[in-house]
Amino acid sequence: MKILLTGGAGYIGSILTNDLLKENYTVTVLDNFMYGQASLNHLCYHEKFTVIKGDVRDFSLIRGLIKEHDIIIPLAALVGAPLCNFNKVGARTVNHDSIIALLREVSANQLILMPTTNSAYGSGDDKNMCDEASELRPLSNYAIDKVEVEKKLMEHPNSISFRLATVFGMSPRMRLDLLVNDFTYRAVNDSFVVLFESNFKRNYIHVRDVSKVFIHGIDNYKKMRNQIYNVGLSDANLSKEELCKRIKKIIPKFSYFEDALQEDPDKRNYIVSNYKIEATGFKPEWSIDAGIKELIKGFEMINNRKYGNI
């Protein structure tokens, strides 16, 4: 089986590429390496690994690559509300337009597995409870684009959408702008963080479990295709304050304070059900606490902010 992985040198992709090769798939990575990352250097020896430096908006390039592969995993994206607000045109053309163009080229017998986002739920219902049937209330341009793309994706007969929770954990192409990563970095280096609207909840998932769920989708695509799945830790629907308490148990010097006068520009606030993906046999391996401990080790090596998306 031949897999095309766009954005394969990114935060998730650099883990997933390695895991797919371990599963004996032939993997082609398309990435523009916009962050100057060398996250796939250790895989260049592998005979089933091919890397192409290019842009997902190059439709002639994409069209040729799609024809050569059995499975498409489009990870390439400008990720997160701050970056998408900073580069609105780039975000729209990468996160929306390039995916719509890709979907036009994918044949009915090719499998496509796509990461979307549970930030599409916005603020949930009156109890902030969300499952795959809940109304979508996307708040950011990033989430709005993902919602539109997911609608088109589900018209494809062999598609799976993974609505990912907020991802955390170490990766060869590290990101420090994700909430668990950010708070743990601040705990290690600054010993404190100031919270805005600390009661807002969201769900979390480790980057290695994200990689695992894509492989799970490939292995079980006949029973999972044409479906949408939330992917997160069922015991980690945590508010920002609850997350800080978890970090403080591991880093006692960490302090956190509430600023009641300011608002968080990220208004997401929801509790997510992951029952549907769990019913397929998928079970995450990495807990929040294990991820925090891993990050502490990583931050012995990382002492600057260059790994954020913005």
Complete domains list, the chain, with CATH: 2-169+204-233+273-284 (3.40.50.720)
Question: Rounded mean pLDDT of 242-263?
Answer: 94
Which run of H or E residues covers position 205? strand 201-206
Helices (H), 44-172: 59-67, 81-86, 88-92, 98-105, 141-153
**Average pLDDT of span 204-231:** 98
- For residue 45, the model assigns a pLDDT of 98
User: Quick check: 163 pLDDT over 80?
Assistant: yes
In whole angstroms, give the CA distance from residue 16 to residue 39: 11
Model confidence pLDDT, tens digit, residues 141-159? 899 999 999 999 999 999 9
Give me the chain's average pLDDT, please. 94
Give the number of other Cβ atoms within 10 Å of residue 252's Cβ: 9
* Whole-angstrom distance, CA of residue 224 vs CA of residue 210: 16
**pLDDT one-digit tens code per residue, 235-246:** 999 999 999 999
37-65 pLDDT per residue, tens: 999 999 999 999 999 999 999 999 999 99
Measured in residues, the chain has a length of 310
Q: Which of 87, 97, 76 is nearest to 31 (CA)?
A: 76
Q: How confident is the model at residue 309 (pLDDT cuts 50, 70, 90)?
A: low
For 95-125, how does the pLDDT look when each residue is reduced to its tens digit (9 = 90+)? 999 999 999 999 999 999 999 999 999 876 6
pTM: predicted TM-score of the whole model, two decimal places: 0.95
